Chains A and B, each alone.
Chain A
């Protein structure tokens, strides 16, 4: 697999998207260092300033200010934290749970498989956004709840892939021999099956990252996500939506940020998929 990943480096799409994502992650981590202002600091005399304008104190606001005088650039940078935290957390949670269940279902088969696949059917049948809305509305509106619901809406895809891999690997002579030799099933699953699942799972996870960001921002937009004054891109969009004609920057820049992050994730996922796809290898060779 590492050999194939080397192919990724030669793909301009992959490099560019990886750089983009890295930049966003670094910006989010270094927020206190690079943000020009405190994202929570209100200053009513500076409200609704256009990008590049300066406030009464002389501070220049590169992306303008919102209706409370808060610097948009700083809020966008800090907002990356929330979006990334929710997306990465949800994808990690969904990935771990989904892969585990998938491997167990595929390898152990029997009732374990049947129950898991029924659960997958249920989750796939449930309209995602509605599930999220209902969950937040009924369970509560906080960060943990948000991560949980985004994870819940995506775990089934991992199960499918992991299960398919486990099913096919189960029949491979090497594995059969190991089973016959008496190796513990857990050991087999961990040492032999899991590593082979990783490739497609990583591709899926990267693509799901984009989905998670979109879902989180949609929920924030509907008022069910991260609550103000914590800046999150979705809630900034929600705040700015009533002033599109007089202060377009309040909504435009967070929207752009969401688009870029999702774009990066999608492109990277595509590039990874291309790199790990044996047929693609053949074509280029």
Chain B
């Protein structure tokens, strides 16, 4: 057990170092943050002076080494644009993203599990077919397209819901629903598939043929066994969910981490980009390892 734990931590560290190195290479590859921060009438000399004061003229390895050293001590530098420490800054956007991700996850579980169960139970019939349509659209349609359609229909034409901003429950509805469609499509398929497998089992058939009512049988036996692979796959798809979050936040002007990092990349705000990657990767590595464990053990 101890060996396993050390291995896991070692893996996490390696992944982290690798990701930050890659990110560091990227951010140093193009664009000059100093020129972007200064106004439109600044001179090349002024840009060079600002670069010096930000420490950007030092050799690549020195910069990277410094970054790693400081990161280990929890210091991710100061955002070039906002003059605030990068890590707390990016974490301040986390609640908004969490709201979206958790909201979408909850909605998709609430929607997908019953849907998957019903579809499996009535396999081949109308319910199943309708569920398939729902799933296919959710998986195939681009999230931003669904979001834009939602804004058009619900915000402009029907005037039911606000299309941007955060603060009220109403503002949460459209972004969460858009993001949830994709996630619940996935979950529905998974639930249905594993439900089908479970329903095929002999002991279920026996219980039903004995005349036991349908619902308690499902809930007691089928659900429990179906849950594990579902959760596993959900964990694996978390990286994709994050991508969906970025797009959703952009379309709905949701002030979360996804939008913040896209803005930071476009503005070459390196401290913020690196801090976000560090946080996001940590989260992802832990999650995917945590959920991948059973699979690794199978191997």
Q: Which residues of A contact B (CB under 8 A)?
A: 118-119, 121-122, 124-130, 133-135, 137-140, 164, 167, 210, 214, 217-218, 221-222, 234, 237, 241, 244-245, 248, 251-252, 255, 258-260, 262-263, 266-267, 283
Contacts and interface: CB of A to CB of B under 8 A. Distances in A.
A167 B299 CA distance: 10
Contacts of A119: 18
20 contacts: A118-B11, A118-B14, A122-B15, A124-B284, A125-B15, A125-B285, A126-B239, A128-B240, A128-B243, A129-B242, A129-B246, A130-B265, A134-B26, A134-B265, A137-B265, A218-B142, A251-B145, A259-B137, A259-B141, A266-B140
A135 B26 contact: yes
Q: State the majority secondary structure of interface residues on A.
A: helix
Contact of B15 (A118, A222, A251): A118
Contacts of B16: 125
B136, B144, B277, B288: residue with the most chain A Cβ atoms closer than 10 Å? B144
Given A218-B247, A262-B139, A263-B140, A122 B30 contact: no
Interface stretch (B114-122, B149-157, B216-224, B225-233): B149-157
Interface string B8-42: 00010011101100110011011100000000000
Contacts of B277: 126, 130
Chain B CB within 10 Å — which of A125, A129, A267 has the most?
Answer: A125
B95 to A, nearest CB: 19
Nearest to A129: B243
Nearest to A163: B299
A17 to B, nearest CB: 10
Q: Which of B15, B16, B250, B299: most chain A CB closer than 10 A?
A: B15
Q: Majority SS of interface residues in chain B?
A: helix
Interface of B: 11, 14-16, 18-19, 22-23, 26-27, 29-31, 136-137, 139-145, 148-149, 151-152, 156-157, 200, 239-240, 242-243, 246-247, 250, 261-262, 265-266, 273, 277, 280-281, 284-285, 288, 299
A251 B144 CA distance: 11
Given A118-B18, A122-B19, A218 B265 contact: no
Given A138-B26, A244-B152, A262 B140 contact: yes
A134 B22 CA distance: 10
Contacts of B29: 138-139
A127 B285 contact: no
Most chain B beta-carbon neighbours within 10 Å: one of A122, A133, A139, A263 = A122
B148 A258 contact: no
A255 B148 CA distance: 10
Nearest to A267: B136
Contacts of A259: 137, 140-142, 145
A130 B26 contact: no
Contacts of B144: 218, 221, 237
